[in-house]
Amino acid sequence: MKILHTSDWHIGRTLNEKSLLEDQEAVLTQLLAWLDRERPDILLVAGDIYDRSVPSKEALGLVDTVLSEIILNLKIPVLLIGGNHDGRERLAMNGGILEKQGLHIAGNYLPGQEPVILNDEWGEVCFWTVPFIKPVEYRSLMKLEKTISYDEMYREITDEITERMDMSRRNVLVSHGLILGNMADIQTIDDSVRPIEIGGIEYACAEHFEAFDYVALGHLHRPQKVLWDKVRYSGSLLKYSFSEWNQKKSVTLVELGEKGALALEPVSFKPLRDLRVIHGELEGLTALEAYEAEGREDYLKVILEDQERLVNPMDKLRRVYPNVLEMAYEKREKTEAQKSSRRIKERIQDPLKLFEDFYTFVNGEAMQADEQAVITELLETTMEEEK
How many domains, in total, are found in the chain?
3
Same structural domain, 175 and 94: yes
Q: Domain boundary at 267, 288, 317, which? A: 267
What pLDDT sits at residue 195? 43
**Do both 174 and 27 map to the same domain?**
yes
Whether residues 242 and 297 fall in one domain? no
Task: List the one residue out of 266, 306, 260 whose CA is nearest residue 286.
Answer: 306
Whether residues 254 and 301 share a domain: the answer is no
Give the C-alpha distances (Å, rounded to integers) separating 63 from 28, 30, 72, 103.
9, 14, 14, 12
Q: Which of 218, 251, 267 is the last residue of a domain?
A: 267
- Are residues 246 and 290 part of one domain? no
Domain holding 359, by residue range, is 332-386
Residue that finishes a domain, picked among 267, 283, 316: 267
**Taking the model in full, what pTM does it have?**
0.83
CATH number of the structural domain spanning residue 85: 3.60.21.10
pLDDT in tens, 147-171: 899 999 999 999 999 999 999 999 9
Same domain, 322 and 229: no
Q: Are residues 117 and 229 in the same domain?
A: yes
For residues 226 and 122, membership in a common domain is answered with yes
pLDDT (0 to 100) of residue 345 = 54
103-106/78-81 β-pairing:
parallel
Judge if 165 and 65 occupy the same domain.
Answer: yes
Q: Does residue 175 share a domain with residue 310?
A: no
Q: What pairing do the DSSP bridges indicate for beta strands 123-130 and 116-120?
A: antiparallel
pLDDT at 196: 34
219 shares a domain with 70 = yes
Query: How far, in whole angstroms, is CA 26 from its chain's centroid?
Result: 19
DSSP string across 55-85: --HHHHHHHHHHHHIIIIIS---EEEE--SS
pLDDT, one tens digit for every residue, the chain (387 residues): 999 999 999 999 999 999 999 999 999 999 999 999 999 999 999 999 999 999 999 999 999 999 999 999 999 999 999 999 888 888 877 667 788 899 999 999 999 999 999 999 999 999 999 999 999 999 999 999 998 999 999 999 999 999 999 999 999 999 999 999 865 555 556 655 554 344 445 889 999 999 999 999 999 999 999 999 999 999 999 999 999 999 999 999 999 999 999 999 999 999 999 999 999 999 999 999 999 989 999 999 999 999 888 889 999 999 999 999 999 998 765 555 555 555 555 555 567 777 776 666 555 566 777 777 778 767 766 655 554
Distance between CA atoms of residues 134 and 199, nearest Å: 11
Q: Is 308 in the same domain as 351? A: no
